[in-house]
Amino acid sequence: MDIIQWIFLIIVIAFLINRFMPVKGITNISVQEAKDKFKDNKVQFIDVRTPGEYKANHRKPFENIPLSNLGNKIDKLDKEKEVVVICQSGMRSAKAAKFLKKQGFDKIYNVKGGMSAWL
C-alpha cells in the first residue's frame, strides 16, 4: 500500500470510530427506564419524529420537536434538566442526543428501540 491508501484507511477508521462510539454524557436507556423517569419533573421528554408520526402514536409527557426543527427550538429546552429523547427506532434520537450534547446539555438519555420498543 502506498501512503495515500494508508491515509485514506486511517480517515475511514477514524470516521467509523467517531460515528459509532458512545458519546460521554449520553446514556441509552430502556423503555421501562424512560417510564420510570415520568414522575420526575426535572426531566424533559422530547420526541424527534415527524408531526405525522407523533400524531399517529405518542406517549405523554413526550413533546414533539422534529429532528429537523431541533436547532430552531433549542431555546425552549433547559440545559440544567435531564433530557430523554425518543424516535421510532432510536436512530434519529441518537442524532438528536449528539446534537444536544454539542449544545451544552449534560444528562441526555436515548430510548433504545424508540417507539417500536414501546409496549
Picking from 54, 35, 36, 39, the residue whose alpha carbon sits closest to that of residue 93 is 54
Select which of 83, 84, 86, 87 is catalytic: 87
Residue 87 designated active-site:
yes
Concatenated DSSP letters of 22-45: PPTTEEEE-HHHHHHGGG-TTEEE
Return all residues near 51 (Cβ < 8 A) that are at least 6 apart. Answer: 64, 66
- Positions marked active-site: 87
